[in-house]
């Protein structure tokens, strides 16, 4: 599996810290996971479904799947909310991957 981290203007933490919230700009982080199979990407996406339905305050989450690629985009009103949401979703993905390995 390959993991890439993207933001609008550079590395995740630097980008989030440098954006101004004065204009009401949302902070955004995007994570792209490229799995070995289409099935792996689908299983991870399905495992996150309950968490996506239960929203984290001050955040919007969008997920998409294209073949073996799973994309997670998180927008938040402030840096601390973005960091909390990123940590939560990345932890849930890691847990899903660990469970998949043992099953």
E strands, 1-68, in order: 2-6, 27-34, 59-66
Q: What is the pTM of this model?
A: 0.71
CATH class as words, domain 2-102: alpha beta
**19: nearest Cα among 75, 89, 63, 59:** 75
**64: nearest Cα among 94, 44, 81, 37:** 44
Query: For the purposes of burial, counting CB atoms within 10 Å of the CB of 55, is it exposed (0-12), middle (13-18) or buried (19 or more)?
Result: exposed
Q: What is the pLDDT of residue 24?
A: 59
Q: What is the pLDDT of residues 21-74, one digit of tens each?
A: 444 567 888 888 888 888 888 888 888 888 877 777 788 888 888 888 888 888
């Amino acid at each position: 599996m390959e993991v890439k981290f993207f933001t609008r203007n550079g590395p995740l933490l630097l980008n989030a810290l440098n954006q101004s919230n004065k204009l009401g700009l949302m902070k955004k982080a995007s994570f792209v996971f490229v799995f070995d199979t289409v099935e792996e990407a689908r299983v991870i996406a399905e495992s996150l479904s309950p968490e996506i339905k239960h929203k984290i305050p001050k955040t919007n989450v969008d997920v998409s799947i294209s073949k073996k690629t799973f994309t997670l985009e998180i927008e938040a009103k402030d840096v601390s909310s973005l960091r909390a949401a990123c940590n939560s979703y990345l932890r849930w993905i890691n847990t899903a991957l660990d469970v998949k390995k043992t099953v």
